Amino acid sequence: MIEKVLKGNSNYWMWLAFLGAFIVVGAICYLRQFLFGMYLTGMGRDLSWGLYISQFTFLVGVAAGGLMLVLPYYVHNYKTFGRLTILGEFLAIASLVMCLMFIMADIGQPLRGLNMILHPTPNSMLFWDMCVLLGYLTLNIICGWVILTSERKQVKPPKWVYIFVYISIPFAVSIHTVTAMLYCGLPGRHFWLSAITAPRFLASAFAAGPALIVIACLIMKRVAHFDAGKEAINKLLTIIMYAAIINAFFVCLEFFVGYYSNIPGHMHSLEYLFFGLDHDGHVYNNLVPFMWSSVLLCFGGLGLFAYMKIAKVYTDMLVGIGCLMIFVSLWLDKGLGFVMGGLVVNPLNQIVEYYPTANEIGITLGIWATGFFLVTVLYKIAVSVEHEVEG
Amino acid sequence: MDKQRRKFLKIAGATALAGISAPVVVKLTSSPALASSEHGEVAEHGAATHGEANQAEGHGAEQAPQGVRLGMLIDMRRLYGRPDLLEKAKAACHKVHNVPDIGNTKSEIKWIWPAPFENVFPEHSSYHESKITKENNFLALCNHCNEPPCVRVCPTKATFRVEANGIVAMDFHRCIGCRFCMMGCPYGARSFNWKDPRPYIKEYNPDFPTRMRGVVEKCNFCGERLALGQEPACLEAVKEVGAIVFGDLNDPDSEIRQRLDEEHTIQRKPSLGTKPSVFYIV
Amino acid sequence: MYNKGLIIPGLIIFVLLVTFPLWFNAFSKASAVPKPDLPPGGEKECVAPLAVIRASHMALLNEWRDDVLRNNDRVAVTVAGKQYRKGLQTACMQCHSNKEKFCDSCHAYASVKPYCWDCHLTATDVAKKKETH
């Protein structure tokens, strides 16, 4: 089926070339970082996790989002999602590859990465994160490939693949729970030390993943003659709405806990993110505009979807705008706000702000471009097989 | 695919899998035997010299069945008004361990350093602090916790607690530089080598290696000095006022335990349950 | 064979290119088996017999590292009556003090690049930044 990748119109190749340019720039930037050291990033002693890990955190969520297509179809027999589950699985593959690339870009001695496998450490959540990420990647590759192949051959998928499909369902929840556990078990980081971190991660994952899939479906409707169907998109929008509302509710709960208890540990990070932190005469507020954009985009997107449901209006344009708003809002919340907000007040109560460097942004964009490249290539295969089958 | 070919491929695959996993199985079931046979060669050379190396940390080993737990008591009262001694302690430690002086707070590496009270003890009240507290800095270093979160989160066991003496040690050979330990440490005691440290080291101590870029480092309670019967470098630096006491917390007769009995001490962030081994008298 | 005139010279050039490292170095200095300089202090005995240490000094160093760092076993190694602390800098390089003439001569020949000296100091390193007091 891989040969499907090699046939495409000029738009397809131009898109891949465009992404390829970013990938090359990213590769050069990474080479610089590999040769000269990680001081080329904006991270420092007090803020030692930055853009790479925050993007990794967000993308694990996007990978988990595929669950929202697999679960209804395979467990609840919701047939409308029949043609879309493969999109969820392929998005998970691309996202997980991006996650692994971000981790490799982030560690100081990447050539020693095998130490995590040679010296397994069950008490470390990073070890389990590696296990579940690689496990989920394998599951998605097996399930996606086997089911797509059997669809191409117009036969029922072999019985054994369903075992992997059913295992992948709790696995999807586990990848993001384990990633949340990286944060919510650290005693020194009070912004993250909350039981609601994991549910919040899952809620935003189940909104962000499907939102990206809906956007991909809308694009493919125009360029690849792939129509997911109005009913499927509507159901996905319902799922996205519920997940986004639950995520917003959880964030509001965080606000309550921080501000009502008035305990500085939990409050200061929120204050820095949303209002700016005043310390020693200097106001630290470089993330404030991003966080309020996140709020506006989230409620704007939700409002748009609500209007569409109530007024029974449905256009592709509105769906696309709404999903984009939700996706960007969740990216700002988790990809920028969560990690940076937790680290801005260091364990010695000093404040250090984070500004990524150009080299760091170059690597980040390169990895995102690789992910989109993979998504394009994998979706090309899936859609080509659909067309071949449907004649 | 015809049935014969399929059967062949299945058998070939199973054989390949067995072939690949055989060495792993062999290694797992026989590694104690392997290690001891290599050990034999080295051990016969080193058999004679048990006594001296263990002496410095050994006097607790016979008395306390649960082992030695090294701890440090810093009597800040003897350092008030002596910022020179605080800097001397930092400089002594950094010199002995080839710690680089990067020169900016972003990439700096520090194993022990002076900082204001509200930063070293953020869980203690600095509300209406006394004049002396306001005007003096306090020494911050790795607390060598008894239940260290950094050890709990390290994915490769590159940082670990040495059972024999309670030091939280680092194996720079294994560290992959993921900086999860820096996230886990509630005291900000750890530093990462963002760049090659060697250009930033003024003079080398030939007795101790440097680190390379891409690994995390922190205070190691001078384990290598203790093995030679010496005292920690910071303790020696402030010896004229005797501000630092170092010893076995598990030995009820040790000097540090007696001082802890006599004076009220505080610790950094005790509510987090890390059980630090460093005590302060302020 | 079609295009014999192109293919046979092409093949010959290809084979020559692929075996370049072999014939280029065959008669040059680089292929001579290295003779590492013995310790300048004249010591003749090492922690293990020559054949053993030559084959497994890497494994020995790994074991020493685990002994010292993880097991807190700093029991000294005795060679020819003198005691050395286990470790690359504190034992091996006390006698084999010239990395360039000893360690590098074999490692360069075998094209091995151990990263030991990214951290462990050699006499040349120390001399570059001598103690000033």
**Domain containing residue A358: CATH number:** 1.20.1630.10
Which pLDDT does position A390 carry in this prediction?
Answer: 83
In a domain, C22, yes or no: no
Put simply, the chain B residues between 93 and 132 with a CB less than 8 A from any chain A CB are 105-109, 115, 118-120, 122
Residue A310, pLDDT > 60, answer: yes
| Total of domains in chain A | 1
Q: What's residue B181's pLDDT?
A: 95
Q: Residue C72 and residue B206: Cβ atoms within 8 Å? A: no
Tokens at A102, concatenated: 């971000």
In a domain, C19, yes or no: no
CB B175 within 8 A of CB A109: yes
Q: Could you report the per-residue pLDDT of A33-77, keeping only the tens digit for each?
A: 999 999 999 999 999 999 999 999 999 999 998 899 999 999 999
Mean pLDDT of A149-157: 92
Split into its structural domains, chain C has a count of 1
Chains touching C by CB (3 or more pairs below 8 Å): B
pLDDT tier at C127, thresholds 50, 70, 90:
confident
Q: Is residue C41 part of a domain?
A: yes
Mutation target to probe the B interface, by most B beta carbons within 10 A, among A106, A348, A354, A359 is A348
Size of the A and B interface in Cβ pairs below 8 Å: 138
| Phi, psi dihedral angles at A11 (to 5 degrees) | -60, -40
Same-domain check for residues B104 and B170: yes
pLDDT of residue C31: 65
Summarised one tens digit per residue, pLDDT across range B193-203 is: 999 999 999 88
Q: What is the CATH number of the domain that holds B192?
A: 3.30.70.20
What's the one-letter identity of residue A174? S
Domain residues for the domain of C67 are 35-120
Report DSSP letters for C103-118, one per residue: HHHHHHHHT----HHH
Return the percentage of chain C with pLDDT > 70, whole number: 95
Contact (CB<8Å) C77/B46: yes
- Kindly state whether residues B208 and B90 are assigned to the same domain: yes
* Same domain as B263, residue B123: yes
pLDDT, mean over chain B: 86
Which residue is closest to A102 within chain B, CA to CA? B178
CA distance C97 to chain B (A): 12
Query: In which band, very low, low, confident or very high, does the pLDDT at A2 lie, cut at 50, 70 and 90?
Result: confident
Residue A192 lies in a domain: yes
Residues B72 and B156 in one domain: yes
Over the stretch C25-72, which tens digit does the pLDDT of each residue have? 777 766 677 788 888 877 788 888 888 988 899 999 999 999 998 888
Domain that holds residue B37: 3-48
Give the number of domains in chain B: 2
d(CA B123, CA A228): 56
Among A252-261, A278-287, B163-172, which stretch is predicted with the lowest mean pLDDT?
A278-287
**C132 domain-assigned:** no
* Closest to A180 in 3D by CA, of A161, A158, A195: A195
pLDDT of B52 reads 38
Residue C6 belongs to a domain? no
Q: Which residue has the higher pLDDT, C41 or B119?
A: B119
Chain C residue at shortest CA distance from B159: C70
d(CA B140, CA A123): 27
> How does DSSP classify residue A106?
H
| pLDDT value at A321 more than 70 | yes
Strands (E), chain A: 277-279, 282-284
Residue C86 lies in a domain: yes
B33 plus B76 within the same structural domain: no
How many other CB atoms are found less than 10 A from the CB of residue B100? 22
Interface test with B, best of A124, A190, A197, A339 (most B CBs within 10 A): A124
Q: Which residues of C touch B49 (CB under 8 A)?
A: 75-76, 78, 83
What pLDDT does residue B38 have? 38
CA dihedral C66, C67, C69, C71 (to 10 degrees): 110
Inform me whether the pLDDT recorded for C19 exceeds 50. yes
Which domain range does residue A62 map to? 2-386
- A-chain residues within 8 Å CB-CB of B183? 48-49, 186, 188-189
pLDDT tens digits for range B68-113: 999 999 999 999 999 999 999 999 999 999 999 999 999 999 999 9
> How many whole angstroms separate alpha carbon C98 and alpha carbon B3?
65
Question: Which residues make beta-bridge pairs with B170?
Answer: B159
Residue C48 inside a domain? The answer is yes
B207, B213, B217, B222: best mutation site toward chain C, by most C Cβ within 10 Å?
Answer: B207
Same domain, B69 and B11: no
pLDDT at B51 over 60: no
* Nearest neighbour of B209 by CB, restricted to C71, C75, C89: C89
Instruction: Give the 3-state secondary structure of residue B87.
Output: helix
Taking only the tens place, the pLDDT of each residue in B131-145 is 999 999 999 999 999
* Residue A216 to chain B, least CA–CA distance (Å): 33
For residue A358, the surrounding DSSP H or E stretch is helix A358-390
Tell me the Ramachandran region of residue A280: left when phi exceeds 0, alpha when psi lies from -120 to 50, beta otherwise: left
**Sign of the four-CA dihedral C23, C24, C26, C27:** positive
Distance set, CA A376 to CA A15, A93, A213, A369, C14 (Å): 9, 12, 12, 10, 39
Residue-wise pLDDT tens digits, B162-211:
988 999 999 999 999 999 999 999 999 999 999 999 999 988 998 899 99
Q: Of B139, B140, B137, whose CA–CA distance to B81 is shortest?
A: B137
Question: In C33-100, where do the E strands start and end?
Answer: 77-79, 82-84
Mean pLDDT of B212-225: 94
Residue A391 falls within a domain, yes or no? Answer: no
Query: Looking at the predicted complex, does its ipTM rise above 0.85?
Result: yes
Of B38, B50, B211, nearest to C119 by CB-CB distance is B211
Asked, for residue B57, whether it belongs to a domain, the answer is no
Q: What is the mean pLDDT of chain A?
A: 93
Rounded mean pLDDT, B207-234: 93
Per DSSP, B266 falls in state: B
More confident residue, B66 or C40: C40
pTM of the model: 0.87
